[in-house]
Structure 1
């Protein structure tokens, strides 16, 4: 028997590349608030952490909620679909599903947006559930999302693996007792993932099955 029977995937930077939609929606929000932004900053550092935290860094705590509201105007109107699958990820998910491994999405993104994105790309046929934050910010921390998913779906953390591209995924996994894989094709780098305590690093989506085999 395999040493795991469940795999949790992050969404942004792990299953899909949301760069255009997220950064475009952030720029829209900043413009709506009359805030000048350095064009040299590509804003990809905002992909992964809860959006509220990104706007706290961009605007300060007092104006962050207003920034998020403007962001969601554009993002909800179509920015969520300015997005694309990473090459090979569909085949990876199909192969894992065929083996009987239980697959879930655990994201800091509000599930109000995450579930339509997963369905848009036809990935919902592979996943038992997509769990994320609430629009009011409840469960925006990745550790909270993972804890909620484990309890709701009766997942044994000792038999589950978390896969993600940012430190939040690794830290959230470790807080909940999950082993983990940090992917290098997303928006985090090796230094960030190693510092967070990644058990393994994976260069490309097609390398995920080989990384998982090392846990058996």
Structure 2
């Protein structure tokens, strides 16, 4: 199974044609639907100031970025990290446009040349939640994903939130109907009679500890709404 990399960038401004550049890249790795912790994060010296409107969003000042690496110094490590992976981005056109620009300035191919494919969670959300707000903030609220640790936007912070959103959007709905049914040769639905003498095996102490740990994680990610802990 190929890797999923959730990616987010911050920039000095919105328009490439005005000479704006990438100042932060955040990547979060997902394998087998688990966030692995093998993240990649760079602050980047863009060689220019950020627009005031952009600075108000990310808070990354020219002074802070002055001694950070340039894109040319991190590009190979970045491309090696994302190589042949499925890239998850919210509003992919924006991020990919800036990545293509930075790569082209260094004589590299477009970003899609190095990866498996791109999945745009904004387009996914618009199909799932038609007619509703589908910003990252709105999706976090909809899926009860806590943003309490974020005061400003940031590449890695937003990638971590988007990873949780992506997993929530693609989790699917389990069928909780435990009454199995079969159809006989005459297409008449017949219910299977479930015996009432099924033996009950209680969980041991280790299993109870693991069970409570899982409930605690669910409770944390649902902002205290885990009904099984009540």
- Do both share a fold (TM > 0.5)? no
TM-score by length of 1: 0.31
Q: Which structure: larger Rg?
A: 2
TM-score between both structures, scaled by the size of structure 2: 0.30
Tell me which of the two structures has the higher relative contact order, counting C-alpha pairs closer than 8 angstroms and 6 or more residues apart: 1
Q: Which has the higher helix share?
A: 1
